[in-house]
Amino acid sequence: MIAAKRKARLKTLAAELLQRGSPQVTVLEVNVGSEDSIQNAFAEIDASGDPLDVVVNNAGISNEEMALTLPTGEFDELMAINVRGVWLVAVLAARRWQASARGGSIVNIASIQGERVMAGITPYSVTKAAVVHMTKSLALEWTRYGIRVNAIEPGYIHTEMTDGMWETDYGKALIKRIPMQRPGRPEELNGLLLLLATEAGSWMTGACVPVDGGHLCSSL
């Protein structure tokens, strides 16, 4: 089951997955900023009759504005999507696993900004630090139910969100701070995701692991 806000993009992805051999793909149109939308998505999952095994909290937004000029509404939106949305999805999944005495795995997508900071994206960094701490706290609380909660902390990845940045002076300067001297590719997160989602990572919970080309260990 794949879920996101833009249904047209989901349908394209679903077609690609079916072409690659997935036996079934269900598209769920979800806005994680809306509790009703999340509740409706879980109702569809329940109605499918298929057991829920893994939840990946990947929805997120960013902003670029100094804290002194940031409108309060933008701060609220970042918190609603990046923190409250992660919380609601995780809790609704965990309640089902607890009720059925069936464990599961939650993988949150945090960021290296949850560990270090940069001027101009303070609210985003705050949200990702919250996801890191939420991951560890929920892991501690839910391990008794067989629920594992871990997080991936991506560095700068070449995605649609960052597409136009890498040829700018700012982007080129940023690349110089990455020990591997390049942004990452989305598929370079796959190995860690599979580890955390499957029994290969069965003794891992509360782990927040960077995948960043060495960015976090670069010199200040």
**145 an active-site residue?**
no
- The one catalytic residue in 124, 145, 156, 170 is 124
How would you class 204 by CB atoms within 10 Å of its CB: exposed for 0-12, middle for 13-18, buried for 19 or more?
A: middle
CA 155/CA 66 separation, integer angstroms = 21
Q: Which residue do the tokens 């949850």 mark?
A: 114
DSSP category for residue 84: I
Whether the CB-CB separation of 115 and 216 falls below 8 Å is answered with yes
CA 192/CA 148 separation, integer angstroms = 14
Q: Which residue do the tokens 């329940």 mark?
A: 46
Q: Return the active site residues.
A: 124
